[in-house]
């Protein structure tokens, strides 16, 4: 491994980095199991032509905090495949990836859905390994809970947004919302926020952004997204640059695309009162500090977008049961858990004079460290704060 890879290790983890390849298909991938003190490693699996080991490690660490913050007993992990999700040889690549990780899946890690993978891909993992426990996000016909179709993560983002607005004395009724990223998370968040009375004024995809200060027709955009993908914004109307969604006049900004999208420049210029992180790692420590100093509330990613893992946990608990999980029960659980966590983190942030991320990290770290001590993975007398990779 390179020196930069060794630099990823600290007292929290990772516990294991498995880099795999397959000569026949050209598959190259990686699994990072970050910290399993609280349970089996669980996190999404992504496919991207720009994937790096460092990227997967950062996301695995976020999963460690996410599971601890929602107080569900799984550990942080993430997997990824270096490649184009549109590759015509995708099935063979996924099967090769599953086979090379058969020692770890499902005993140490469970596949899930992330960028570039679909419910049909989860079915391939199941078929290749012959175990329903190999993956979450399975199609309904295989007894799974189809996260993208149900929109559980985006639904949770919207619930967290309303909880944060109430906590900060902001009315969501009529509030203008801009959403960067209109994939599964962005679409579901836009739909739920519209139901809660907010006005979605801008959305973006890789193909550009659309903006209407009077509000966008979200059902129309959802239909166009299903038919035309990222080109939905072009079919909807006049198209702005993709980053325009970060700069339009809005009360609530939801980054729901990729990591590292809200830099110091955006943090210093946005006029949003509330930022709800639908994507993982969209802000940096410096941009968070700028936002905090400007009085702009930020709901951390592993608090706001945890709806998917709440659903995943209950799906995993029922994976060997003949009964299908009721989606209505899942939505109720997501709403209760994420609203309570959002309020708790923002209250602690205000009480202690911390950024919301610092307050959330403190909560998650305490739970993980307690489990590590009980399992004799650290000295029982350890009280020092362990640095977090962000």
Q: Which two tokens stand for residue 385?
A: 């704060």
Q: Which two tokens stand for residue 115?
A: 């960028």
Residue 99 and residue 92 in contact, taking contact as beta carbons nearer than 8 Å = no
Cα–Cα distance, 41 to 61 (Å, whole number):
11
- Residue 255 has φ and ψ, to the nearest 5°, of -75, 115
Residue 116 and residue 137 in contact, taking contact as beta carbons nearer than 8 Å = no
Q: Which of 42, 66, 78, 90 is catalytic?
A: 78
CA 49 from centroid of its chain's CA atoms: 19
Cα–Cα distance, 47 to 83 (Å, whole number):
6
Show the beta-strand stretches assigned E in 50-157: 75-82, 109-110
Residue 90 and residue 10 in contact, taking contact as beta carbons nearer than 8 Å = no
Residue 277 and residue 154 in contact, taking contact as beta carbons nearer than 8 Å = no
| Alpha-carbon separation of residue 231 from 220, 221, 234, 277 (angstroms) | 13, 10, 5, 24
Residue 78 a catalytic site member:
yes
Show the beta-strand stretches assigned E in 291-378: 297-299
Burial 358-383 (b: 16+ CB within 10 A, else e): bbbbbbbbebbbebbeeeebbeeeee
Burial bucket for residue 241 (CB in 10 Å: 0-12, 13-18, 19+): exposed
Burial bucket for residue 329 (CB in 10 Å: 0-12, 13-18, 19+): exposed
Q: Which residues are catalytic?
A: 78
């Amino acid at each position: 491994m390179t020196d930069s890879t060794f630099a990823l290790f600290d007292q929290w983890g990772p516990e294991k980095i498995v880099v795999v390849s397959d000569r026949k298909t050209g598959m190259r991938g990686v699994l990072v199991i970050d910290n399993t003190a609280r349970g089996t490693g669980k996190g999404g699996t992504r496919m991207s032509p720009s994937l790096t080991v460092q990227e997967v490690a950062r996301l695995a660490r976020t999963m460690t905090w996410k599971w601890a913050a929602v107080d569900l007993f799984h550990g942080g992990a993430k997997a990824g495949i270096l490649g184009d999700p549109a590759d015509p040889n995708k099935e063979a690549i996924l099967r090769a990836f599953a086979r090379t990780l058969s020692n770890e899946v499902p005993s140490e890690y469970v596949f899930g859905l992330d960028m570039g993978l679909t419910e049909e891909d989860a079915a391939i993992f199941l078929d290749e390994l012959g175990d329903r426990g190999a993956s979450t996000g399975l199609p309904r016909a295989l007894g799974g809970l189809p996260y993208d179709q149900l929109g559980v993560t985006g639904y949770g983002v919207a619930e967290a947004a309303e909880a944060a607005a109430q906590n900060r004395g902001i009315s969501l009724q009529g509030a203008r919302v801009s959403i960067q990223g209109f994939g599964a998370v962005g679409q579901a968040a836009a739909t739920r926020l519209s139901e809660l009375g907010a006005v979605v004024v801008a959305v973006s995809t890789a193909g550009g952004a659309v903006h209407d200060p009077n509000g966008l027709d979200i059902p129309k955009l959802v239909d166009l997204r299903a038919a035309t993908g990222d080109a939905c914004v072009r079919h909807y109307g006049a198209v702005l640059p993709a980053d325009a969604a970060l700069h339009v006049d809005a009360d609530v900004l939801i980054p729901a695309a990729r990591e590292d999208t809200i830099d110091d420049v955006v943090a210093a210029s946005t006029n949003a009162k509330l930022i709800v992180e639908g994507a993982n790692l969209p802000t940096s420590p410096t941009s968070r500090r700028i936002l905090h100093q400007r009085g702009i509330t930020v709901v951390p990613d592993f608090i706001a977008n945890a709806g998917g893992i709440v659903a995943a946990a209950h799906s995993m608990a029922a994976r060997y049961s003949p009964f299908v999980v009721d989606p209505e029960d899942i939505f109720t659980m997501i709403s209760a858990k994420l609203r309570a966590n959002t309020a708790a983190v923002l209250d602690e942030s205000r009480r202690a004079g911390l950024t919301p991320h610092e307050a959330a990290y403190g909560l998650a770290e305490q739970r993980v460290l307690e489990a590590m001590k009980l399992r004799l993975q650290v000295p029982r007398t350890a009280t020092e704060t362990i640095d977090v990779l962000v």
